[in-house]
Structure 1
Amino acid sequence: MTELALRLVNAHAASRSWLRRLRTFIGPGFLIAVGYMDPGNWATDMAAGSALGYSLLWVVLAANIAALFMQYLSAKLGVVTGHDLAQLCRMRSSRAVNLINWIGCELAICACDLAEVIGSAIALNLLFGLPVLYGVVLTVADALLVLWLTQRDMKRLEKLVYVLVGTVAFAFLGELILARPDWLAVAGGAVPSLTPLGTSTGMLLAVGIVGATVMPHNLYLHSSIVRGPKSENARGRATRLGFVTWDLILALMLAFAVNASMLILAASAFHENGITHIATLEDAHRLLQPLLGSALAPILFGVALLAAGQSATLTATLAGQTIMQGFLGWQVSAALRRVLTRLIAIVPALLAVLFFGEQALGRLLILSQVALSLQLPFAIAPLVRFTSNKQLMGAQVNATWLSVLAWLIVGCVVAGNAVVLWQM
């Protein structure tokens, strides 16, 4: 065998070995990615696409890049230190600061759960005609189903996540094929422009997109589920971090494709047809068939929405456990924890339907994502501080340019939140 042929054989064997090892680490990134496709993303992306066309597509891109960056820091923190973000906040913050941060995290999870409640209830209404009010109450049952699943083997849970994420992705691929968007205009929307942010609507939607994408509870969860055994040495941690990073990149690329597809679909189907105000997801569902000329379009929409709501429930459940145990050191029953969170989330949804009608749920969905954005700095600021600490991170400490970029992201989020609060 020639030297060149031998090198090719060795390279092929090394590649197969690398892929086999990568498969053992695939999972946590996709579990995190489902939180980037929840009904809150649907509401903000649909509203942005219908109101402003493709012009906020660059915000979706920027938010996903920021999410990838922050999730990487979260994974690095968990792999290197062996502690999750919530545990380190408890260990390295005062009692008062820790308590305030925990309350903020719990409110963020309730806001996220609210989006899942509303999204699942709307999906049940669209697919089966179940009244939204009954659908909201019925979501308590899916909380119990998730509890049963989270008590099973984690690999089984990851397989369910793959099915749900795949359902959402393929549904939107079908929608885009039916919509036939103007891809030149799509490319133009990916170019950053401050013009659409000059209005209160544009700024509110942009901040909602950020809150729906860079979810604070995902940062706590990711740092928890990627940790290796305590006996793992420095070389093993570095290897683990490399594979975890690839898992994250692949998962968030898929999440970005889905989020971008939502906005592109809304811009193509609604904005380009002169429909610039999609108030609810029901409006979007009702208009898809006449605008796209296919009875399949609204069915795909409803199925994907139901899958998105159920998949996001998984991460909220796991994140809630991580946050309570990390911040407070409490070992609370998973059943009690999940049911309480879901009941708290149901209350505003029920009140909105009873007093303002089902049309109020669309606005409530967007506001829930703005609430997530308001909580975000309280998660990413300590994350950046910890990963920039040489004593804590050792050789894996953030480089200077990395820390500067991370603090710049924190500043942008805070500034965007401040503008929205002032406008409101």
Structure 2
Amino acid sequence: MSAQTLEDKSKDEEANRLLRDDEDEEVAFEAREKILVVDVEGPEGEDSSMTVPPFSWKKLWLFTGPGFLMSIAFLDPGNLEGDLQAGAIAGYSLLWLLLWATAMGLLIQLLSARVGVATGRHLAELCRDEYLRLGQVACSGSWPRLALIGADIQEVIGSAIAIQILSNGVLPLWAGVIITASDCFIFLFLENYGVRKLEAVFAVLIATMAISFAWMFGDTKPSGKELLIGILVPRLGSKTIRQAVGVVGCVIMPHNVFLHSALVQSREIDPQKKGQVQEALNYYSIESSVALSISFMINLFVTTIFAKGFYGTKQANSIGLVNAGQYLQDKYGGGLFPILYIWGIGLLAAGQSSTITGTYAGQFIMGGFLNLRLKKWLRALITRSFAIVPTVIVALVFRTSEASLDILNEWLNVLQSIQIPFALIPLLTLVAKEQVMGVFRIGPVLQRVAWTVAALVIVINGYLLLDFFVSEVRGLLFGFVVCTGTAAYIAFIIYLVLRSGALPPDWITILSKRFPVH
């Protein structure tokens, strides 16, 4: 054998060794990423008959966890601010809308979980494969991360406000932001000890919120009759349209749609065993329904507390997250335990839990969309930095102005609203595709219901955007930029809908001539 041949053979062996090392590293990465909490035994064999074992309380307990982590997005500081403003300005009249908005959110989250369980992959990964080039920018790239940063800023500032309250103002807003940033390391510490430990911490935080706001609910003694009427009788006045839009708009969080499809994979489910998949979907449906029922009750407590205390008063239009605690203290006084601190404890639990889930969502978005292979601590640090650095700047700039923080919050809500179609449309497209979902694709009736809900949410958020820009846009140049951006935005939504195959054939033919899809 010639020296050249030996040299070529040596190079081939070295290349193969490096390839095996890369493959081993990627396998190890995936093993760390896919957290297998419990091995849920399903029916033996291939189980192509869709036979599902009888209901088991023990198995329901083993599946309990992802839905409660998902429900945190319904309880973040942004939602609490929407609740208190709805109560203060609209009284009890929007409680029915809160109930139906939660039900719509539950439907979307169940579809997200369905995608994750049936495919064994989360929505970010599926979007990366489904949408190429331009589609990846909106559905798989910049927009999800921007929306996550916007949500995270709200959550971190909410925690910082709570820390300021509980420290009697000793710690300024920026210091609370820095303290909140430490949840990144808490998250890493807890995850190293298993997801069940992490889920237990979230259960404690949710229980803290429930106890805090239930205590306040009991102290303020709202009208039971008005509360029941508000839930059962739909009412909507011309002066409460903005609050109504806010109630619905706060429920669907774009990053939460991506997150839930990843959280459900923490249980070992074989997508090839159809009975096992169906069993998991059944248990996740029960668990998510219970979790969002609890979140609805907590939101209801907050809304009714402020409806009882401030509806019809001069302070109603000036209450925000920054001054809500002091208003409560002035209204209801000290008592056995000052209501200001009860509010601060509940707000801190909401802010801390939502920032940790934001970190979690950010990791899945980065890993799924960008296909990154980074160490866990490095990805978490990058994810947190995206939110913490802008938030510290915001806290320093707006540290003395409550009005400025309210304006900032409106802009962040706009950012969330813009992103919503880029989460909902891909989800509804993928969950109805047989080549993606197999036998677990949703049927025509559920498709129509889901698309109706999505259209309603998108239109409502579109109204929020229109109302905001009409009141805020000043100057010809800025108006031109907004109009141009709006036209491009609507065209891209039409593009996504055309790709989804959800429209009737006649509509597709008409729209395809105006908006060719290549």
Q: What TM-score, normalized to structure 2?
A: 0.74
In the other structure, the counterpart of 2:131 is: 93
- Counterpart CA distance in 2 for 1:80 and 1:215 is 22
Tell me how far 1:65 sits from its aligned partner.
0.7
Shift of 1:257: 0.8
Q: 1:298 aligns with which of 340, 362, 375?
A: 340
> Residues of 2 paired with 1:414 and 1:28: CA distance?
26
Partner of residue 487, structure 2: none
**1:135 and 2:176 correspond:** yes
Please give the secondary structure, in 2, of the residue aligned with 1:287: helix
Structure 2 residue 105 is the aligned partner of structure 1 residue 67: yes
1:83 aligned onto 2:112: no
Of 23-32 and 364-373, the range deviating more from structure 2: 364-373
Kept after mapping to 2: 8 A contact 1:109/1:217: yes
Hey, what's the Cα distance between the residues in 2 that align with 1:180 and 1:386?
Answer: 47
Find 2:93's aligned residue among 40, 55, 59. 55
The answer to whether the 8 A contact 1:68-1:248 is kept is yes
In the TM superposition, residue 193 of structure 1 has moved relative to its aligned partner by 4.7
The answer to whether structure 1 residue 117 and structure 2 residue 156 are counterparts is yes
Larger mean Cα displacement after TM superposition, 139-148 or 32-41? 139-148
> Bigger shift: 244-253 or 352-361?
352-361
1:99 and 1:282, CA in 2 relative to 1: closer, same or farther beyond 3 A?
Answer: closer
Q: How has the CA–CA distance of structure 1 residues 366 and 205 changed in structure 2, closer, same or farther, with 3 Å as cutoff?
A: farther
Listed as ranges, the gaps of 5+ residues in structure 1 are 1-14
How far apart are the structure 1 equivalents of 2:464 and 2:271? Answer: 47
Residue type of the alignment partner of 1:111: G
CA offset at residue 267 of structure 1? 0.8
Q: Are 1:308 and 2:350 an aligned pair?
A: yes
Q: Which of the residues 273, 281, 296 maps onto 1:241?
A: 281
Give the TM-score normalised by the residue count of structure 1.
0.89
Q: Residue 5 of structure 1 corresponds to which residue in structure 2? A: none
Cα displacement (A) at 1:143: 2.6
For residue 274 of structure 1, report the CA deviation from its aligned partner: 4.8
- Matched with 2:423 is 379
Identity, in percent, stands at 34
* C-alpha displacement of 1:203: 4.1
Aligned equivalents of 1:203, 1:343: Cα separation in 2: 36
Taking a change above 3 Å as real, the CA distance of residues 229 and 391 of structure 1, as seen in their structure-2 partners, is same
Shift of 1:239: 0.7
Contact 1:40 1:368 in 2 (8 A): no
Instruction: Specify the alignment match of 2:412 in structure 1.
Output: 368
Please tell me the residue identity of whatever aligns with 2:326.
R
Could you tell me which of 27, 43, 66 is aligned with 2:65? 27
Amino acid at match of 2:354: A
Q: 1:153-189: CA deviations, max 9, x gaps?
A: 1010011011000000111111110111112222333
In structure 1, what is the equivalent of residue 433 of structure 2? 389
Cross-structure match for 1:339: 381
Aligned AA (1:331): R
User: What SS does the aligned partner of 1:281 have?
Assistant: coil
- 1:152 positional shift: 2.8
**In 2, Cα distance between the equivalents of 1:316 and 1:221?**
9
Equivalent-residue separation in structure 2 for 1:158 and 1:244 (angstroms): 15
Question: SS state of the match for residue 382, structure 1?
Answer: helix
CA contact (8 A) 1:146 1:313 kept: no
Structure 1 residues 308, 99: CA separation in 2 closer, same or farther (over 3 Å shift)?
Answer: same
Aligned residue in 1 for 2:309: 269
| Aligned counterparts of 1:151 and 1:29: Cα–Cα separation in 2 | 21
1:10 paired residue number: none
Structure 1 CA distance for aligned equivalents of residues 111 and 210 of structure 2: 26
Which residue of 2 is the match for residue 9 of structure 1? Answer: none
Structure-to-structure mapping, 1:206-245, within 5 angstroms? 206-227=244-265, 228-230=268-270, 232-245=272-285
Q: Distance in 1 between matches of 2:149 and 2:461?
A: 19
Write the letter of the residue equivalent to 1:276.
Answer: A
**Cα separation, partners in 2 of 1:363 and 1:335, compared to 1, 3 Å:** farther
Deviation of the 1:96 alpha carbon: 2.2
* Separation in structure 2 between the aligned mates of residue 163 and residue 46 of structure 1, nearest angstrom: 23
1:71: how far off?
A: 0.6
Partner of residue 231, structure 2: 190
Work out whether residues 177 and 391 of structure 2, in 8 Å CA contact, stay in contact via their aligned partners in 1: yes
Distance in 1 (CA, whole Å) between partners of 2:249 and 2:67 is: 19
The alignment of Structure 1 onto Structure 2 pairs a total of residues equal to 407
* Secondary structure of residue in 2 paired with 1:20: helix
Match of 1:419 among 438, 463, 468: 463
Aligned residues of 2:94 and 2:236 also touching (Cα < 8 A): no
2:370 match:
328
Residue in 2 that maps onto 1:254:
294
Instruction: Give the equivalent residue in structure 2 for 1:280.
Output: 320
Q: Find 1:167's aligned residue among 191, 196, 208.
A: 208
Q: Give the corresponding residue for 2:83.
A: 45
Task: Sort the Cα spacing of 1:193 and 1:370 in 2 relative to 1 into closer, same or farther, 3 A.
Answer: farther
> Which string of whole-angstrom CA distances, capped at 9 and with x for unpartnered residues, describes residues 94-118 of structure 1?
1321132221110111111111111
What secondary structure is seen at the aligned counterpart in 2 of 1:190? helix
Q: Which has the higher helix share?
A: 1
**Residue 136 of structure 1 contacts residue 350 of structure 1 at CA under 8 Å; is this kept in 2?**
yes
Report the aligned-residue RMSD.
2.3
> 1:278, 1:284 within 8 Å by CA — same for their partners in 2?
no
**Are residues 192 and 326 of structure 1, via their aligned partners in 2, closer, same or farther at CA, if it must alter by over 3 Å?**
farther
Displacement of 1:386 in angstroms is 1.2
Relative to structure 1, the CA distance from residue 323 to residue 269 in structure 2 (aligned partners, 3 Å threshold; closer, same or farther) is same
Matched residues in 2 for 1:315 and 1:135: separation?
A: 18
Whose radius of gyration is greater, 1 or 2?
A: 2
Distance of aligned partners of 1:313 and 1:367 in 2 relative to their CA distance in 1, 3 Å threshold: same
Which moved further from structure 2: 249-258 or 358-367? 358-367
Identify if the C-alpha distance between structure 1 residues 264 and 25 changes in structure 2 by more than 3 Å, giving closer, same or farther: same
**1:283-335 per-position Cα deviation (integer Å, ceiling 9, x unaligned):** 22112234234443222111111111111122111111111121121123333
Deviations 1:248-284 (A, max 9, x none): 1111111111112111111112215553124332422
**Letter matched to residue 308 of structure 1:** A
Letter in 2 for 1:324: M
What is residue 193 of structure 2 aligned with on the other side? 152
Letter in 2 for 1:275: Q
